[in-house]
């Protein structure tokens, strides 16, 4: 009886390890692919381009004052 249980657990363990290894391989190939790099760069550039005008509007003053000349 114990032998059958051990065999079933061994098979289940093998299936789990094989599926995790396959998933890790697929994830590694996906993350290192050129399409993933392009997709991430496009997403970052889209987010940055929408934020930049707001940041620049807050940072650049409407008018500037002339600087006083140093006294000799």
In degrees, rounded to 5, the angle at the alpha carbon of residue 28 between the alpha carbons of residues 25 and 32 is 145
Domain that includes residue 40, residue range: 22-48
Number of domains in the chain: 1
59 belongs to a structural domain? no
- Let me know if residue 28 belongs to a domain: yes
Whether the Cβ atoms of residue 36 and residue 30 lie closer than 8 Å to each other? yes
pTM for the full model?
A: 0.52
**In this predicted model, what pLDDT tens digit does every residue of 3-62 receive, in sequence order?**
999 999 999 999 999 999 999 999 999 999 999 999 999 998 888 877 776 666 666 666
CA 69/CA 72 separation, integer angstroms: 9
């Amino acid at each position: 009886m114990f032998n059958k249980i051990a065999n079933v657990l061994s098979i289940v363990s093998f299936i789990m390890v094989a599926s995790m290894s396959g998933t890790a391989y697929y994830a590694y190939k996906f993350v290192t692919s050129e399409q993933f790099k392009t997709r991430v760069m496009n997403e970052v550039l889209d987010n940055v381009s929408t934020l930049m005008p707001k940041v620049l509007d807050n940072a650049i003053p409407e008018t500037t004052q002339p600087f006083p000349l140093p006294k000799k």
